[in-house]
Each structure stands twice: as C-alpha cells, then as structure tokens.
Amino acid sequence: MRNPCRGLSDWVIFGRIYHVEHFLILVGGVVRLIKIPLIALILQGIPEQVAVTTLAFVIAGIHLKWDRILMIGIGQAFCAYVVRLFPIPFGIHTILLLIMLFIILTKFTKGDVALSFMASSITFLVLGIFELTCMSLVMQIFGFTPETLFNDLVLRILVGELNMLLLFISAFLVNKLYITSGIHL
C-alpha cells in the first residue's frame, strides 16, 4: 500500500517501510523483499537475457546476429529490472519477458506465430529448469538455504552465471544439431 506521508520511493508493507530499490516476492502469501543492485543487472541479468535470446533465436531458426541479440538481451534485462521495481508479485516480470520475446521472434520469423510461441515458451521453460536445478544443486552441495542464495549477492550472481552458461551451451548444441542433421523444429 502506498503511504502518502512517506517519500515517493517508499512503500509500506505490513507496517514496515521499504524503498523502491527492493522488489516483492510473493511466496505462499508471505511478502519478502530482495534487493536487486545494479551490479546484479550488469553481471547476471544482461548476460542471462542475452543467453535466453540466443537460445530462442536458435530454436526459431533465426540467423544469429550478435549485435541484434545483444541489444535485445540488454532491452529484456532492463525491462525486467524496471518491472521488478514495482510492488507486483514475483514472476510477473517473467511473463512480460516471455511476451516481449514472443513479439520479437514473431517479427524476425516473418509472422510465424506458432514457431515464435514455441521458441519463446521452450526457452523460458529451459531457463526455469536450469534455475531450479542450479539452485537445488548449490543448496544441496554447499548446504546453503534459499535465504542465503537470495541474500548473498556474489552467490546469486555466480548461480546466475551458471544458468547463463547452461543456456549458451544449450543454444550451441541445438544449433550444431540443426547444422549437422538439417532438422528444424
């Protein structure tokens, strides 16, 4: 809820005051706040969205032009960052990114809506699987709690880098499969 007595960047949630540089996560009816620093956007958000865009382009059979992929990835990352500044449930940014990627792919596939929907959906499904797997493995191997993963900036960036690496490897392997076997989804 907005508190008119506080500054423009302050929000009151359950009687506590938070600043806009935090975003809300709604899990099981409990609102938690996690700070997203600009360094996390630069070191995790942008590379991850570039990897997401790369995998989506490969799945859709779009020629990889790195300047285009980089610009789309940066745009996606900044959109996610801005959306996370608002007090909305966690996950809304993912839905918006999926829709944006779908629209971008539709443009580059010359209007092939089915292919664009499939490529964007598969890409975000793969991202979700990799994120869940990486976080679970890190928690299991090193004994970290979810709180530690979300609150430790360096650890969060490292896990994000692992996701990004897996996305790029997937894009490379799918692209190699397309080239060697001549198949296309």
Domain boundaries, the chain: 39-181
> Of 40, 45, 36, whose CA–CA distance to 74 is shortest?
45
Q: How far apart are CA 143 and CA 79, in angstroms?
A: 33
pLDDT of 185: 56
Extract the runs of DSSP E, i.e. beta strands, from 4-137: 10-13, 16-19, 22-27, 30-35
pLDDT of residue 11 exceeding 80, the answer is no
Reported confidence tier of residue 146, pLDDT bands at 50, 70, 90: confident
Residues of the chain with pLDDT > 90: what percent? 60
Residues 6+ apart with CB under 8 A from 72: 49, 50, 53, 104
pLDDT of 21: 40
> Of 108, 58, 36, 103, whose CA–CA distance to 76 is shortest?
103
pLDDT of 74: 97
Q: What is the pLDDT of residues 16-70, one digit of tens each?
A: 444 444 444 444 444 444 557 899 999 999 999 999 999 999 999 999 999 999 9
pTM of the model: 0.79
Contact assessment for residue 27 and residue 91, using Cβ atoms and an 8 Å cutoff: no
> Of 92, 98, 91, whose CA–CA distance to 49 is shortest?
98
The pLDDT of 75-81, averaged and rounded, is 93
> Of 95, 102, 94, 44, whose CA–CA distance to 72 is shortest?
102
Contact assessment for residue 26 and residue 37, using Cβ atoms and an 8 Å cutoff: no
Q: Is 86 left (phi over 0), alpha (psi -120 to 50) or beta?
A: beta
* Position with higher pLDDT, 183 vs 34: 183
Residues 6+ apart with CB under 8 A from 34: 22, 23, 25, 150, 151
